[in-house]
Homo-oligomer: A and B are copies of this chain.
Amino acid sequence: MFYEFKFKDDLPAYIQVKDYLKRLMIRGSLQADQKLPSTRELGLQLAVSRNTVITAYAELKEDGFVYTVQGKGSYVAASAPLGGVAPSYDIDWQSRINGYARQAVELDRMKHGIRADKSVISFTSIAPDEKLFDLDNVKRAFLDRIAMEGGVLLNYGYAKGYKPLIDYLMKYMKQKGVDLRGKDMLITSGFTEAFDIVMSALRKKDGNSVICENPTHYAAIKNLRLNGFDITGVPMERDGIILAELERVLTERSYNFAYFIPSYHNPTGIVTSPGKRQAIMQLMARHRIPVIEDGFNEELRYSGSHVSPLIASAGQGNAVIYMGSFSKVLFPGLRVGWVLADHQLIDYLESIKRARSIHTSTLDQAVLFQYLYNGNLEKFLKKARKEYKRKYEWTKHCCETYLPFKRLSGDGGLHLFVEFDESFDTTKLLIECSSKGVIFTPGDMFYTDGGGRHSLRLGFSRVPDENISKGLEIIGQTAKKLMG
């Protein structure tokens, strides 16, 4: 007995002894009511000090694994391990799982994509470049806030969100021209949770349908499908959705809502023009269709005029549900998004949020708030925009140099969208390029109707300059070869 004990250097000795004895009890090598060796004896056997064993025994007693008998010594507690006593049985989970879970795996692109090791040049990410993050200001925000609020920051908060952050973001949205009267805000764990919560409030028992741009954000397509929505995608042109087509599909059936990404659209990078925004909202008003506006990329404007969000152009109307996030600029690892909408609607969404996840991390919200409050956003945006703009222009230049494209779009943000001749297949291109160490996102996943096999998305934010040119040269050469 006790001969397998191996001393490691990186943990206090008493913890190692305690864990070792626990393991023996759990696997039954030490039985209930068995007397343990004296502390002196075990110390000698394990080659640790007697004091170490005394501390380990005390902790085991504290944890209910050991009891002591006055004057006699320490014993293994009776009820410790149950392992092996109750019958072990198996469930065939494949047969218990429902269609929703199955579809969630099927639509989970992260599980079906090509895995890239570090040597691969990958254009698949549209996450911000963490090298730009100003960690010192994040640290300061954390320490400032914890000094002010103390332990409250680590205790339960409110489903609706962290009050100082809500106040800040309401002002922030007001500055974008939003009329806040009759509106309220819910903080969520990012855009995706916001979208999922809103869908679960607005879907009906059956016959659910939605209008959106085609192509559009894959996570939105996925969640709409998972929630049983029919998706009507309206094609895009240079300055946004094609209006005539939008008008046509609006007369065809009714829709639960429309979902639009008016600024730096994912995946095309298109900014819907101010005139088109107005026209879209006029059509929505005529058909009384609620609009979900995805403002995910709004902060990443490199040039051109400021464009107001749809919710601003809706004035006092309550029909637009705006979903915001700083995940493409600031810190996606802090899971914070917000929904700005009619106050009655927010009241429902708040209860759904509470039912599903109680509330969004108080720490994330508080650190983000203090970071914003300390005035870091403007400074950071200036730096980030400058760097991303440079990269954007470099990527565009390389695309124009190397790629045999038909159309190249992207007015800002962290990605460009490339369309080849309709007959070209970017999935085949990906297989070829991948064997040469370059990967990208084939465009078909963003299409609502199975189209887009001739397109691809290039995320450039995390690719070093020399790899951008090298990667695009390889993609270009391979594409030309495939085109024959």
Cα separation A333 to B5 with both chains bound (whole Å): 39
Residue interface mask A108-123, B partner, CB < 8 A = 1:
1011000000000000
Compute how far the CA of A193 lies from the CA of B143 in the bound complex, rounded to whole angstroms: 29
Contact B143 A317 (CB under 8 A): no
A102 to B360, CA, bound (A): 22
Are B333 and A363 in touch, CB under 8 angstroms?
yes
In the assembled complex, the Cα of A79 lies from the Cα of B308 at a distance in Å of 8
A189 cross-chain contacts in B, Cβ below 8 A: 189, 335, 357, 360-361
Does the CB pair B375–A12 fall under 8 Å? yes
State in angstroms the CA–CA spacing of A163 and B76 once bound together.
34
Q: Which of A191-225 contact B (CB under 8 A)?
A: 192-193, 196, 200-205, 219, 222-223
Report chain B residues within 8 Å CB of A153: 333
0/1 string, A68-79, CB within 8 A of B gives 1: 000000000111
In the docked arrangement, what's the CA distance between A37 and B101, Å?
A: 61
Of B86, B111, B360, B362, the contact of A313 (CB 8 Å cutoff)? B86
List B contacts of A450 (CB < 8 A): none
A345: chain B residues within 8 A (beta carbon): 93, 97
Contact flags A245-284 to B (C-beta < 8 A → 1, else 0) = 0000000000010000000000000000110011001101
- List CB contacts (< 8 Å) of A331-352 with chain B: 331-335, 342, 344-345, 347-352
Bound-state CA distance A347–B93 (Å) is: 11
Q: Say yes or no for A474: interface residue by CB 8 A criterion.
A: no
A135-154 Cβ-contact flags toward B at 8 Å (1 or 0): 10011001100100011111
Nearest CB of B to A342, in Å: 6
A352, B354: Cα distance in complex, Å:
18
Also in contact, A357 and B196, with CB within 8 A (given A111-B351, A345-B97): yes
Query: Chain A contact residues (Cβ within 8 angstroms of B): what range?
Result: 35 or more
Contact B79 A305 (CB under 8 A): yes
Smallest CB gap from A96: residue in B = B202
Q: Are A355 and B86 in contact (CB under 8 A)?
A: no
* Residue contact B89 to A285, C-beta cutoff 8 Å: yes
Which B residues are CB-close (under 8 A) to A359? Answer: 335
> A168 near B: Cβ within 8 Å?
no
Contact present for A382 and B335 (CB under 8 Å): no
Q: Name the one of B90, B101, B102, B154 contacting A317, with C-beta atoms under 8 angstroms.
A: B90
CB within 8 A of A19: which of B175, B205, B315?
Answer: B175
Contact A308 to B80, CB < 8 A, known contacts A282-B87, A342-B93: yes
Residue in B62, B94, B139, B274 whose CB lies within 8 Å of A146:
B139
Residue A100 at the B interface, CB < 8 A? yes
* Chain B contacts for A138, CB-based, 8 A: 146, 154
Q: Is the CB of B82 within 8 A of A308?
A: yes
Taken together as a complex, chains A and B put the C-alpha atoms of A139 and B405 apart, in Å, by 52
Q: Does A402 contact B (CB under 8 A)?
A: no
B352 and A333 contacting across the interface, CB-CB below 8 Å: no
Chain B residues positioned under 8 Å from A347 (CB to CB): 105
Q: How far is the CA of A377 from the CA of B15 in the complex (A)?
A: 12
Residues in chain A within 8 A of chain B (CB atoms)? 12, 15, 19, 22-23, 26, 59, 62-65, 67, 77-91, 93-94, 96-98, 100-102, 104-105, 107-108, 110-111, 127-128, 130-133, 135, 138-139, 142-143, 146, 150-157, 159, 175-177, 179, 189-190, 192-193, 196, 200-205, 219, 222-223, 226, 256, 273-274, 277-278, 281-282, 284-285, 288, 290, 301, 304-308, 312-319, 330-335, 342, 344-345, 347-352, 354-364, 367, 375, 378, 382
Q: Name 8 extra pairs, CB < 8 A, besides A64-B304, A93-B345.
A: A88-B314, A89-B285, A98-B204, A110-B159, A128-B155, A139-B146, A154-B332, A335-B358
12 residue pairs of the A-B complex, CB under 8 angstroms, read: A63-B301, A79-B308, A82-B278, A86-B281, A93-B344, A96-B202, A97-B201, A105-B348, A156-B333, A196-B356, A219-B355, A361-B364
